[in-house]
Amino acid sequence: MKKYIITITLYVVTCSPPMGGQRGACQNVGINTTGAAPNASALLDINASPGNNLGLLIPRMTTNDRNNIASPAIGLLIYNTDCNNFNYYNGTGWQPVNTTGGNIPGTAGTITGATTVCLSQSGVAYSIPATTNATGYIWSYTGTGFTIATGVNTNSITADFAASATSGTLTVYGTNACGNGTASPAYSITVNAVPAAAGTISGTTPVCQSQNGVAFSVGSISGATGYVWTYTGIGLTIATGANTNSITVDFSASATSGNITVYGTNSCGSGIVSPNYAITVNAPPTTAAAGADQTDAATCGLTTVTLAGNAPTVGTGAWTITSGAGGTVNLPTSPTSTFTGTAGTAYTLRWTISNAPCTASYDEVNVTFNQNPTTANAGPDQTLICDATTATLAGNTPAPGTGLWTVFSGTATITTPSSPTSGVTGLAAAGTATLRWTISNAPCTSSFDDVVLTTSSCCVYAPGNMTFIYTGAQETWQVPCEVTSITVDAKGAEG
């Protein structure tokens, strides 16, 4: 085996102390295999010649030995064999020269756990996978009110959030005797409070049974993700907007009055409920009945009647005149008020029963103040000239009503039956005829009066029969009016 001898040149530096105000002079030391002088800027210049592959070996020791160095100087350098890393002393403690590599913990992984929590929430779990070389773990939170409850110095913890906790980011890094690893990515945590107190509800009151689509709302509640509406009465159903701050509701036919309230909710709980909003639920009014029409003979000659509406059990009633002029309801709110109008006028009256806000009910009645017909007057009886067969009547003009002539007895022809002064023809040459003048105004009782027309013959002697008797036979002749004698030429007769 061949042996090689390497010659190492050692230059020793000597220094002379300052004298006479002059600066001291020092020489540096160089260690190499070439005999080269040390670099002037270096106190110690160690230069490995090409090909000899030699290095500088720093003192090697365990962490325990390092820690036993008495009063280490600032900048003291050792190689830690436990950590496989150079350590230096910075005046307060030993620090690794390299923050990664060797036996320093690896980079912490991604945190898993709740991203949204609530004020005063406890036992919230967070963790990371085990970090290489880590013997402990340091968790940090940028917000306030965060306390590790279990798992301190481990990779899996549970945390409590105070009533005043704030949002922030959570990080963790591994530790061991060699140093600290790289921290995990920041993990954002939002701390929510329960919703704020609900404000004042706005809406509609009173409402009516069976009324639909009634709107109620409250201002948006801070922090609320949902809304809970409650009602102390019965028969209210949310039709639209459930779980929001603006709803419409339907009221059933049996709904009752009550208070409606609302409060906000989120994953942290429920907020303070709103003040009560009182809702009055009214029943529909009694169905109106105005009574029977008063248009028959019972009103003949009247200008005042008594109405016959029904008395409301729910709501209030009122009479109004919808047609007809000059009428007056004496007590409009009374179902049995008297009503005064004008003779001969027809009216329509409406009886309305109301109970707001429900739809009013109404019914109508017709009232007609019928007039009795004018008292009939057929005029004076008439005695006509002899042999007259016509006459002119003299009845009175109806006001009100309509007149009509009829032949009550005798023989006559009325030329214009509806005219009070109609002509009459066809009277007997001698005799009487009774004619009746009737004035009617339905449905009232008619009025009538009779006139007697008397006719006579102009004959002085009344017509009659004359009989001529002769032997074995007789003859009879009708003798006309005004004939006072006849001559009989009897031949061959005896007696």
Query: Which among 390, 420, 415 has a CA at the least distance from the CA of 402?
Result: 420
pLDDT at 495: 44
Residue type, 142: T
Contacts of 491 (CB under 8 A, 6+ apart): none
Cα angle: 190, vertex 193, 195; to 5 degrees: 130
Distance between CA atoms of residues 437 and 451, nearest Å? 8
Rounded to an integer, the average pLDDT of 141-162 is: 98
Q: Is the pLDDT of residue 415 over 70?
A: yes
pLDDT, tens digit, for every residue of 176-222?
A: 988 899 999 999 999 999 999 999 999 999 999 999 999 999 999 99
pLDDT, tens digit, for every residue of 234-277?
A: 999 999 999 999 999 999 999 999 999 999 999 999 999 999 99
Half-sphere exposure of 212 (CA within 13 A, CB side): 2
State the pTM of this model: 0.60
71: left (phi over 0), alpha (psi -120 to 50) or beta: left
Q: Is the pLDDT of residue 365 over 90?
A: yes
Q: Does residue 140 contact residue 121 with C-beta atoms inside 8 Å? A: no
Q: Is the pLDDT of residue 11 over 50?
A: no
| Residue 34 binned pLDDT confidence (cut-offs 50, 70, 90) | confident
